[in-house]
Amino acid sequence: MALYLRRLSLTLYRRSKALPDGRRALCSSSSSISQGFIHTGEFRLYSPTAHIVRDFSSKTDLKHVEGPVALDYSSVLPEEEFHKLSDEFLHNLQEKLEEYGDDLQIDGFDLDYASGVLTVKLGDVGTYVINKQSPNRQIWLSSPMSGPARFDWDRESQAWIYRRTKANLLTLMETELSNLLNTSVTLAA
């Protein structure tokens, strides 16, 4: 898939036209896949085999780029505390999701928790994978809606937070699941 996207982006770049401000634009007539998906200033690629979206830009305005916040290593959780917090989080999340799965009767619903990995299958809606990353002291989320994200424990808010967007893991999952399942989902205890 990565090779396919690289080749596709190179093809689109070659067919694009430089604009005065340094960005590139692709006319919809120059490529059949660009129709409705390519916007001036960015390449927005849709994979024909999966629901994957990649954005490519030839010029980046660094004033608007949000990157990871610098990590203060004095705040890194000791391993024992990380395991306690992450195990408790995953266990509570599993229990809440089991309740919703029983109540909503979702076709293809399945939960599996083993070795620090919680897999939540929602049938045709998609699959979530939430797992512990002990070396990084993070919980990683793979979402059918928002893609991958890495969450760190925030002592101040007592929650797993994505440093790039400041999103709370539980709040993000509640929002996404509510949208995917067309019902209000509350995962907080």
Domain extents in the chain: 2-64, 73-181
Long-range contacts of 84-87 (CB under 8 A, 24+ apart): 85/153, 86/116, 86/132, 86/139, 87/116, 87/132
pLDDT for 143: 95
E strands, the chain, in order:
17-18, 24-25, 43-46, 53-56, 109-114, 117-122, 127-133, 138-143, 147-154, 159-162, 167-168
pLDDT for 50: 39
The three-class DSSP label of residue 187 is: coil
How far is residue 126's CA from residue 78's CA, in Å, rounded to a whole number?
Answer: 34
Q: Worst-scoring range by mean pLDDT, 21-25, 79-83, 104-108, 178-182?
A: 21-25
- The amino acid that residue 30 corresponds to is S
Q: Most confidently modeled of 61-65, 69-73, 95-99, 151-155?
A: 151-155
Q: Which residue has the higher pLDDT, 54 or 8?
A: 8
Superfamily for the 73-181 domain: Frataxin/CyaY (3.30.920.10)
CB-CB neighbours of 73 under 10 Å: 6
Gap between the terminal Cα atoms of the chain: 39
Count of positions (residues) in the chain:
189
The pLDDT tens digits of the residues spanning 28-82 come to 333 333 333 333 344 444 334 434 344 444 333 444 445 555 555 556 789 999 9
pLDDT band with cut points at 50, 70 and 90 for residue 21? low
Q: Which residue has the higher pLDDT, 71 or 83?
A: 83
pLDDT band with cut points at 50, 70 and 90 for residue 152? very high
Q: Worst-scoring range by mean pLDDT, 13-27, 52-66, 87-101, 120-134?
A: 52-66
